[in-house]
Structure 1
Amino acid sequence: MTSNTFTHATDYLDAARELADSGRPTLARLLAEEASARTSNPADAARILAEFPGGSLRSED
């Protein structure tokens, strides 16, 4: 059974890939942005965002 708890960047990244594979690119991008934000290495964060192209969908208030 799969856990629905997201505690690590890899959890968000795995879910983003699943959503991308199922034809939900917008949701995939949002999860990829969260994975990127939770990644301490800037090169890894950039790589994650490059895997899911598009502009930022996050709203920062």
Structure 2
Amino acid sequence: MALLNFNRPADYLDAAREMAETGRPTLARLLAEEAADRTTDPTEAARIRDEFTGASLRQES
């Protein structure tokens, strides 16, 4: 089993796409939001969020 490292926004985005492809849209959205948060370019962050439909699932404290 390969150990996954999440060091870059692309790592989260790759995982999000994999979750979407395997029928896990909620997890895909959360991973995509994390990728967007770690992206320094606001335009790219918005594009990432737009790629994964649905409202944010995060709970703010």
TM-score by length of structure 2 reads 0.93
Counterpart check, 1:42 vs 2:42: yes
Runs of 4 or more, structure 1, over 6 Å off, are none
| Runs of 5+ unmatched residues, structure 1 | none
| TM-superposed deviation, 1:39 | 0.4
Counterpart check, 1:52 vs 2:44: no
Distance 1:18 1:55 in 2: 19
| TM-superposed deviation, 1:24 | 0.4
Q: How big is the alpha-carbon RMSD for the aligned residues of Structure 1 and Structure 2?
A: 1.1
Percent of aligned pairs sharing the same letter: 62
**Which residue does 2:19 correspond to in 1?**
19
